[in-house]
Amino acid sequence: MTDLMLALRNLATKEGYAPAPLKNVLKALFETGHEFPFTGYTRKLRRELGLSEIPPLTISSPKALEEVQKLMKTTGASHLLKSSEVKN
């Protein structure tokens, strides 16, 4: 049942029926490699906690982001961003 629902959701997305908030997650992933932004407040807090201001993740590596974007382009996920129309 879970697999069936997943397949239906994927089909619905291809037909343009993805809810807008979900598309925003896709957009954030494509643009930064992450779902949540590292804000100025976060960076300050991380410093105060003795952590690096930004961890060594995709967010701090243009090459890593390029790899994530290439995968999203090849699989077709980035094309979903082009459809701005959201049908609910």
- Give least dist CB 63 to other proteins, A: 7
- Give least dist CB 37 to other proteins, A: 6
Considering beta carbons, is residue 6 or 87 the nearer one to other proteins? Answer: 6
Residues in contact with other proteins by CB under 8 A are 6, 9-10, 13, 18-19, 21-23, 25-26, 29, 33-39, 42, 45-46, 49-51, 55-58, 61, 63-65, 67-68, 70-72, 74-77, 80
3-state secondary structure the chain: CHHHHHHHHHHHHHCCCCCHHHHHHHHHHHHHCCCCCCCHHHHHHHHHCCCCCCCCCHHHCHHHHHHHHHHHHHHCCCHHHHCCCCCC
